A and B are shown apart, each in its own frame.
Chain A
Amino acid sequence: MKRDGQRGMISHFLSLSCVLWVLMLFAACPIDAKQMVITARKVAEELPVEPDAPIWAKARAVEIPMASQVMVRPRIYSSSVKEIRVKALHNSRDIAFLLEWKDNTKDASIEMVHTFSDGAALQFPSDPERKKPHFAMGDEDGVVNIWNWKAVFEEGAEKKTVYAMVDDYLSGREAGNIMSIALKTPVQNLIASGFGSLTAMEEKAQHVSGKGKWEAGNWKVIFRRSMKAAEKSEAHFKEGGLTPVAVAVWDGSNGERGARKAVSTWYYAALEMEAPGTVYLYPIVAFLGAGVLVIGLVIYLRGRFD
């Protein structure tokens, strides 16, 4: 009797595992992977220059929650932007990201001492082989590449004033500071390895293009770069590959600049590629194989205990 009871228990256990295994196959998705991955849709045509180009309808947006930067001083406890929508496209040569967020005020001028510019940034690890660096500004072991768009650098953002100057010397410009040089793009290409370490790349490496457009309380900002990294410390993109990406955003009228910003954790940009037929075959084979194994095991054990 005792042996029979044991057999029954094992049998029940095995059946239960069988059911659980099947259930797991269908239900075991603790997080929605789609929400962590920004799929860069592959398109044939040239990538858009405008943030509201119709082609962006082809890309699926991922909504990223944003949190106030409270890790280092100066901190901010109430950053304005709570959520940002990110889309991506690529055409095997270039990659483009579109960031959209709500902001009731357009802050594109810093002509006054107490006004700050709206801004947004994308961050990627410089070295794709290493483990991901710290999600905000990288760390000592992991350099990050940051593309920083600022509304103040949009063409025509600041009115041109004619000055009655005594001299034409601008110390920031003479020092080669990219804040003071008129770049061709509103996006700065930077690297960092921890808070406070943000450093501009050489002027010739300022090749991330972009454009921002504010309309009816919404910013839409496009970032675009060649997929091939020109410099070693720049973000790497490979068709069919995953590149970690994090986002930051600044609301100028809330006094946000520098470390006073809203940040996200790491997400992934997945660059779509045309998949060969075998991609669909392998999961089916694996599913069937695993099923056969378990059922085989159940039959074998039943035989043994009977």
Chain B
Amino acid sequence: MTKTKVKNWQIQREMPYPYEEVRPKKQFAAVFDTNKCIACQTCTMACKHAWTSGQGQEYMWWNNVETKPYGFYPLAWDVKILELLGPQQWEGRKYIGKTIFERAPGSEIAAGYIPEEMDWAHPNIGEDEPYGSVGKGDYITVPHRVWHFYLPRICNHCTYPACLASCPRKAIYKREEDGIVLIDQRRCRGYRDCIRACPYKKSLFNPATKISEKCIGCYPLVEGGSQTQCVTTCIGRIRLNGWISTPDQAEPSNPIDYLVHRRKMALPLYPQFGLEPNIYYIPPVHVPLPYLKQMFGPGVQDAVEAYRTAHKDPALLGLLTLFGSTDRWVTKYRVGEDAAFGYDAKGEEIVKVPLAEPIFIRPFWDERVQAFRHNTT
């Protein structure tokens, strides 16, 4: 095992990693609200059209939405990694089980596996497949006894990427300016160590170029101050891009910091893997907690509680209205008495969203046309 230790705030302890802790100046992040996702796959298609419409990319979905618990892309990816990881114990908010770096065999940097060809063949397998079955006289409880939910996934642009750690050629790098993780298309030689090591299986092999590719965090858009394709095209307005700080540097006016660090309502996906992933999920409130705890860590109960009481909190409600309200990258936000405001990096207002939609009541008698208004069909 590697001797270098780094701090991982998501598991609240130090862990081994082949490189020293060097955080980027800003870290690309997003919050996905799973409660609002309807698996329409608009994000999936938007990404496909933007980035993976070429030769060798036919099977490739940098963004996918899978039904949990029975949907996977590639097949069984998370249950396979969870099995490799062994028991995953938490002591309060501290993870005392093993990360994939700690579980690595002596010949490797990280525990992992390479999915086989057919594992990628059914990207929407298990769609709408619920857990459990409806019995006679059954009724709905919260959490639901019969449940499923949709999990939208992109590359997590991890703070400690396993793909980067395991590439023997250092062909993968994390950008200093925004923390986006990229595969150098000139240096990669297609060894597929990144595909083996990434537990989220978001490194993909292109047989036409004989090298690997991955989600590029729409960096040309990000550089121009815009949010990514998958975020801006989301018709359910479930996503919001932003920069995330470490907990000690958290800035309450930063929408991502507020949701993740202040309100602790958005949680990382499988934090026990040890990668400090940077896509944060508002967990689905109707799903039994043990399953959610395995997927999002021990903070899940508080997160569900915060979401269920969000309607009582104008500041939180205001922030949630900013989701999907602008294509621009929201660096700061403020909630006023009747509207939420989003600001760009220069501090200029880029969006104003009313907290409540204005209501117009049209009188029964229309003065202009001198007639009653009827619902005529």
A contacts, CB < 8 Å to B: 70, 72-77, 110-114, 116, 152, 163, 165-177, 179-180, 195-196, 198, 257-259
Contact = CB atoms under 8 A, between A and B. Distances in A.
Given A75-B107, A113-B120, A258 B209 contact: no
Interface in B109-161: 109, 114-117, 120
B56 A179 contact: no
Given A74-B107, A113-B115, A114-B117, A258 B54 contact: no
Contacts of A175: 184-186
A74 B211 contact: no
A77 B108 CA distance: 11
Contact of B192 (A76, A111, A113): A113
A179 B184 CA distance: 13
- Overall SS of chain B's interface: loop
Contacts of A174: 185
A172 B56 CA distance: 11
Contact of B56 (A166, A170, A176, A196): A170
Contacts, number: 108
B4 to A, nearest CB: 14
Given A170-B55, A170-B208, A170-B209, A179 B188 contact: yes
A172 B55 contact: no
Q: Of A171, A180, A196, which is in contact with the most chain B CB atoms at under 10 Å from its CB? A: A171
B106 A172 contact: no
A198 B213 contact: no
Interface residues of B, number: 39
B185 A177 contact: yes
Contacts of A259: 168
Given A111-B207, A152-B210, A173-B209, 13 more contacts: A73-B107, A73-B109, A74-B107, A110-B190, A113-B204, A165-B54, A167-B53, A172-B206, A174-B185, A180-B211, A196-B170, A257-B191, A259-B168
A260 to B, nearest CB: 8
A167 B54 contact: yes
B169 interface: yes
The residue in A70, A168, A179 that gathers the most chain B C-beta atoms within 10 A of its C-beta is A179
B349 interface: no
Contacts of A170: 54-56, 206, 208-209
A113 B107 contact: no
A176 to B, nearest CB: 6
10 contacts: A73-B107, A113-B192, A113-B205, A113-B207, A165-B55, A175-B185, A177-B209, A180-B210, A196-B169, A257-B190
Contacts of A116: 192
A161 to B, nearest CB: 8
